[in-house]
Chain A
């Protein structure tokens, strides 16, 4: 009983438990034949939500009102620009990657400049920014669908020891994020700001610097995800980031990160991302139509929140 309570106190346990339950029901329904395929597909698609989710988590940790809505536009722009520059040449892969990261840094800086200089609430600042970024993406894309370089696309779609490469990248990023969050001064600072920005200021924490780095970090991760997603799906599309707006917020919060900030959780993002994709594929397996699938997805999200609920929340 005691052990149960300690385990239950870990906020990320809920999302993992939910993911496992959904996985088992789906595999059981198909008679066990889909176990490997389902796991691989889940890891692949969850990887993209994990990468953007980690970035969003850092931003949400900063406290109430901090959310980056420019994630989808950033993904689209970095994917488009990178593919255009690489122009199907294997030799340009690194240049494309650097360019994608540069796009991320530029958007992050722009976001924070708006928040700081115009004192706009982050939600509106990143929203306005995303409109501008989206326009840039439309202008760069011009309806052309450029293929990713052969080497890059085969890397993004293949497996190492049966694990999708994109999932390994997501794992690497998550481990780095965890170290950054739990073991570094920067991580302690963002938690401190999220818990009480006033107390953090009194303690001499450089609030502006920390928030600036956080918004840039989030945009860079979104850009990286856009680069990978475009390579994975064989080209950049203008709406490729769209579903990741709600997804990036949902995985962070279902994963047990406090919406009020100051308390974040990297493992939970994994549980939540796996869970979100598994729910969709479970409902697909059962052969539900699009409408029923959406309704059940929503009800399941709310059920998980209710089960894990009761945490201190501001919004």
Chain B
């Protein structure tokens, strides 16, 4: 059977996730249950959504350094306005998505470096979050809590949600014509422009979609934690970038994979649980996470070489 290069790209993230999962089961057989799996992957849902958002930005060759503060901000909105007066909450979140689209337009029209603009925005989102919730608090709206703690039969919610996210974004980014065009902007902006498409519009769409998924990440996070604070998701910026790369995405060229990104996010979440099962002293847990990242990327290099050898024997 001949695998496409896109499928080979997915092999590495999938294999590393499987290996990590096997290691966790080996060390803690009790994790091999409905509750165990749910606990292992629970926090993966918001991370996966944030990773998808980052992936959309990366598919037009940009990078979003404000992802963590933005998810924190949306979490704060969810725990305050969306809970007390849903209409205003939805309006604020819609405004935030519109702000993302506007960022995409400004970055394109003024040819600004996205790193710096999003860096500036990270202060803005952080400030807004602090204004909303100066100290940790708020409460999750009932329906959010209900969705995130739902117990579907046989397969835990965290897994069901991850599969749904992967399926929807795969269709959106890889199959729909909008997704193809957005990736085209990342691959060769000029040719998309010459073919008569509006690059500004496509960038705005990519940013708006990223904003939408980041909003979902914030809502999902509050559903799990039941309350929020202004710094709740700061590490999502780096996690989301690492998740995209782990999932086989590239920084430039519009080469991204939504399924890979979700798997990457799951791998990163699992790495954390794996380390606590290993009883590694807390001092070294961050370091071990770095080491896992390096090992997975080394594996990817190895498989990329195999792929190349197959192409030119």
Chain A interfacial positions (CB closer than 8 Å to B): 64-65, 67, 69, 114, 118-121, 123-124, 127-136, 138-139, 246, 249-250, 253-254, 259-260, 289-299, 301-302, 305-306, 309-315
Contact = CB atoms under 8 A, between A and B. Distances in A.
Nearest to A258: B113
Interface string B91-103: 0000000000000
Interface string B169-206: 00000000000000000000000000000000000000
B137 interface: no
Nearest to A293: B127
B116 A253 contact: yes
A291 to B, nearest CB: 4
Contacts of B251: 64-65, 121, 123
Interface residues of B, number: 47
A128 B293 contact: yes
A313 B45 CA distance: 34
B165 interface: no
B122 A121 contact: no
A254 B17 CA distance: 40
7 contacts: A121-B245, A131-B290, A135-B288, A289-B131, A294-B130, A301-B120, A302-B124
A135 B290 CA distance: 10
Given A124-B245, A131-B291, A249-B116, 11 more contacts: A119-B301, A132-B287, A138-B283, A139-B283, A249-B119, A291-B128, A294-B126, A298-B127, A301-B116, A301-B123, A313-B112
B120 A298 contact: yes
Contacts of B301: 118-120
Query: Which of B111, B121, B245, B286: most chain A Cβ within 10 A?
Result: B286
Given A124-B245, A259-B113, A298-B122, A292 B287 contact: no
A246 B120 CA distance: 10
Contacts of B269: none
B291 A253 contact: no
Looking at chain B's contact residues, the main secondary structure is helix
Interface of B: 61-63, 65, 106, 110-117, 119-131, 134, 238, 241-242, 245, 251-252, 283-291, 293-294, 297-298, 301
A233 B229 CA distance: 29
Contacts of B245: 121, 124
Contacts of B113: 253, 259-260, 305, 313-315
Contacts of A291: 127-131, 134
Given A124-B297, A127-B238, A138 B286 contact: yes
A284 B115 CA distance: 26
B294 A128 contact: yes
A297 B127 CA distance: 9
Closest 9 pairs (CB-CB, A-B): A135-B287, A131-B290, A298-B123, A294-B127, A295-B127, A291-B131, A298-B124, A301-B120, A259-B113
A135 B286 contact: yes
Contacts of A298: 120-127
Contacts of A121: 245, 251
Nearest to B250: A121
A313 B287 contact: no
